[in-house]
Amino acid sequence: MERLAIFWNKKHAKQNMTQEQKKCAIYTRKSNEEGLDQDFNSLHAQREAGEAYITSQKSEGWQLVENEYNDGGYSGGDLDRPALKDMIADIKANKIDIIVVYKIDRLTRSLMDFSKLVEVFDEYNVTFISITQSFNTTTSMGRLTLNMLLSFAQFEREVTGERIRDKIAASKKKGMWMGGSPPLGYQLDGGKLIPQPEEIKIVQFIFEEYLKCGAVKKLKDSVDGAGLKTPLRISQKGRSYGGAAFSRGHLYHTLGNPLYIGKIRHKEKLYDGLHGAIIETEIFEKVQHQLKGNSAAKSITWAKSGCLLKGLMYDCDDVIYSPTYTVKNNLRYSYYISQNLIQYRDHPNNVLARIPAHEIEKLIKLALKDWMMGIRGLRRAFPKQPDYYHELMIKNPIPLRRRFILSILQKVTVHSNKLIIEIDPEKLCKEIAVYYEIAFVNLSKSNIKIILPFKVLRANNGAIVLKSNQQNDHDPFNIPTDQLKRVVRGIIWRDEHFAGKTLKNIAAAGGHGENFVNRCIQESFEFPKN
């Protein structure tokens, strides 16, 4: 018996020595900062529970890592959290095998975000454990249960959001100020807006000066000339802001804010506010009438719809381009303009500040078409898919309609000599899967980038023409479709004209104007260009 006991002890000790060590990380989160300054708060409680659970699994080789991942004061509605990002980085560095949380909603409250995290966990063989809920994401049943719980968590979050929106709407109907930075002319006192005498003078100066000069651009010059600055404010986190020159946007907002006549705006409706007015209603209405008149009189105004790259195009300094248009001879010309130009700031050298909408959108469409038809780009973007997937997409390409482009396009960055087109791989895969009725596996996590070199040309009339450097300059037919149609028509019509047919008869037969027929014939003489 003694020998048997010695043998058993040696065998058991050997098994413990060969037990694989599993590196465990504890993630904690609290939605607000209330109570975080206490000696023992919610984050400490979550971590103690996690440490106790890991200790109970010591026989399985579980070992707590040194790094702590605590997000205090961050919502679970998104993944933009510093500790969570650090944890994901350590997962990718193979420093973590198991993640332990007190409850699943500490990790995330979004079903979509959770699915993204699970993909990362699966890729790096990481197990997810909830202490108060017995889950293991390595099993299908565990995934199903987790998805169900997250669905309820997301439902609770959406219901809470609806309640908050309803509360804000009801409060504004009563004329209450519902938080945020106090506007120019007021200060907060117990959650109420109180007129500030020194700032009232600035507001009144802005309104009176605008009625005199009649334009916000001139108003800004007057305000800067008077040395007026935005008021200094202290945020709830103790940060100071303000004390800078008024921007045109700030002046526009001030002139159009009904708060100054004692009203509270909620969406499209106005309600009587509990605060005092500092601008007379008659003056405010005159300003609104003048603003509206100036807007209608401008030949350049913001395009409300129809712009493919609205909110998607930036320059190399990450400054956005905004869509706009001008009207000349009853014709509308759309283009994109940099916010640097609008705000009178410096713009990067050799980078276009104004870009014709037709030219840039045409380049984007051609680049996407070439990429979708290229086997190398598809294989690089979707490396682990069956070969017939790639062949199917090339032989039967998806039509590049507006809806499809808007759904997959993530960002377009304009440099002096190239465009960087970023595509969202998840949305692209979704569109492809629906169109071809196929499924993807092991998708890329980073955006797909298409680099398109281009050069700027100037037409005879001064218009800007963008041309891709990838186009074949020696191919005379490599021109826009509408131009090619004019050239073909011009060749036919010039032969008819030389045969004795008048331009008027040619135009009448084709249902065109004489000027258009003449233009086509002129372009046919210039084709091909060297």
CB 452 within 8 A of CB 418: yes
Torsion-angle region of residue 169: left (phi > 0), alpha (psi -120 to 50) or beta?
alpha
Over residues 324-354, the pLDDT tens digits come to 887 777 777 788 888 877 776 677 777 888 8
User: Do 462 and 493 share a domain, yes or no?
Assistant: no
**How far is 101 from 335, CA to CA, in rounded Å?**
51
CA distances from 106 to 19, 34, 78 (A): 30, 16, 12
Residue span of the structural domain in which 107 resides: 2-157
pLDDT in tens, the chain (530 residues): 444 444 445 444 444 544 678 899 999 998 877 777 777 788 888 889 889 988 888 888 899 998 999 998 888 878 889 999 999 999 999 999 999 998 878 888 776 677 778 778 888 888 888 888 766 665 677 767 767 766 776 677 677 778 878 888 888 888 888 777 788 888 888 778 888 888 888 989 999 998 988 888 888 888 888 888 888 877 766 777 788 888 877 888 888 888 899 888 887 788 888 888 888 989 888 888 887 766 544 434 433 445 788 888 888 888 888 888 877 777 777 888 888 777 766 777 778 888 888 888 888 888 888 887 776 677 777 776 676 677 777 767 778 888 888 888 888 898 888 888 898 888 888 887 777 777 665 555 667 888 888 777 765 555 566 666 654 444 555 566 667 788 888 888 888 887 888 888 888 888 888 888 888 888 777 665 54
246 in any annotated domain = yes
Q: Say how many domains are in the chain.
A: 4
User: Do 18 and 142 share a domain, yes or no?
Assistant: yes
User: Do 407 and 347 share a domain, yes or no?
Assistant: yes
177 in any annotated domain = no
User: Do 110 and 191 share a domain, yes or no?
Assistant: no
Alpha helices per DSSP H over 93-139: 104-107, 111-123
User: Do 317 and 276 share a domain, yes or no?
Assistant: no
190 in any annotated domain = yes
272 in any annotated domain = yes
Domain boundary among 108, 136, 157: 157
Q: DSSP letter at 261?
A: G
Is 415 exposed, middle or buried, given 0-12, 13-18 or 19+ CB atoms closer than 10 A? middle
CB 438 within 8 A of CB 432: yes
Domain boundary among 298, 324, 351: 298
User: Do 485 and 383 share a domain, yes or no?
Assistant: no
> Before 528, cis peptide (omega within 30)?
yes
CATH number of the domain where residue 228 is located: 3.90.1750.20
Q: DSSP letter at 424?
A: -
Residue type, 499: A
User: Do 457 and 491 share a domain, yes or no?
Assistant: no
Cβ-Cβ contacts under 8 Å for 524 (sequence gap 6 or more): 486, 487, 489, 490, 491, 493, 494
User: Do 462 and 505 share a domain, yes or no?
Assistant: no
User: Do 463 and 498 share a domain, yes or no?
Assistant: no
- Which residues is 332 bridged to in the sheet? 327
Q: Is the dihedral of CA 388, 389, 395, 396 positive or negative?
A: positive
User: Do 152 and 231 share a domain, yes or no?
Assistant: no
Domain boundary among 232, 267, 298: 298
176 in any annotated domain = no
**Coil, helix or strand at residue 99:** strand
CATH number of the domain where residue 23 is located: 3.40.50.1390
Cβ–Cβ contacts within 10 Å for residue 353, how many? 17
User: Do 500 and 364 share a domain, yes or no?
Assistant: no
168 in any annotated domain = no
Tokens found for residue 524: 């046919």
pTM of the model: 0.39
Q: DSSP letter at 451?
A: E
Alpha helices per DSSP H over 373-454: 375-381, 387-395, 402-408, 425-436
401 in any annotated domain = yes
167 in any annotated domain = no
User: Do 43 and 149 share a domain, yes or no?
Assistant: yes
The beta-strand segments (E) located in 19-97 are: 22-30, 62-64, 69-72
